[in-house]
Structure 1
Amino acid sequence: MRGRYLNEDERIVIADRRRAGATLQQIAAELGRHRSTISRELRNNAHPVSGDYRPHAAHAQAQARRPRPKTGKIPANPGLRQVIQDGLHLRWSPEQIVRRLRRDFSDQPELHVAHETIYQALYVQGRGELRRELAAALRTGRAMRRPHRQAQQRTPRMATPMVMISERPAEADDRAVPGHWEGDLIIGKDKKSTIGTLVERATRYVLLVHLPNGRSADVVRDTLIDTMSSLPEHLRRSLTWDQGGEMAGHGAFTATGIPVYFCDPHSPWQRGSNENTNSLLRQYFPKGNRHLRPQPRTLRRRRRPAQRPPTQNARLGHPSRAPR
Structure 2
Amino acid sequence: MPVTIAELAQALDAQSWGEQSLQVTGAAEPDNVQPVEGDGGVIALAMSPKYADALKPGCMAILAEGMDPEAYGLRAAIFAPRPRLVMAGLTRAFDPGPDIAPGIHPSAVIDDSAQIGEGAAIGPFVVIGADVVIGPGARIASHVSIGRGSRLGRDAILHAGVRIAHGVTAGDRLIVQPGASIGGDGFSFVTPEESGIEEIRRTLGERAEIKAQHWTRIHSLGGVEIGDDVEIGANSTIDRGTIRSTRVGSGTKIDNLVMLGHNVVIGDDCLLCSQVGVAGSARVGNRVVLAGKVGVNDNITVGDDVIAGGASKIFTRVPAGRVILGNPAVRMDTQMEIQKAVRRLPRMAQQLARLQETVTRLLEKG
TM class by shorter chain equals under 0.3
> Which structure ranks higher in relative contact order (CA pairs < 8 Å, sequence separation ≥ 6)?
1
- Between Structure 1 and Structure 2, the one with more strand by share is 2
Q: Which has the larger radius of gyration?
A: 1
- Between Structure 1 and Structure 2, the one with more helix by share is 1
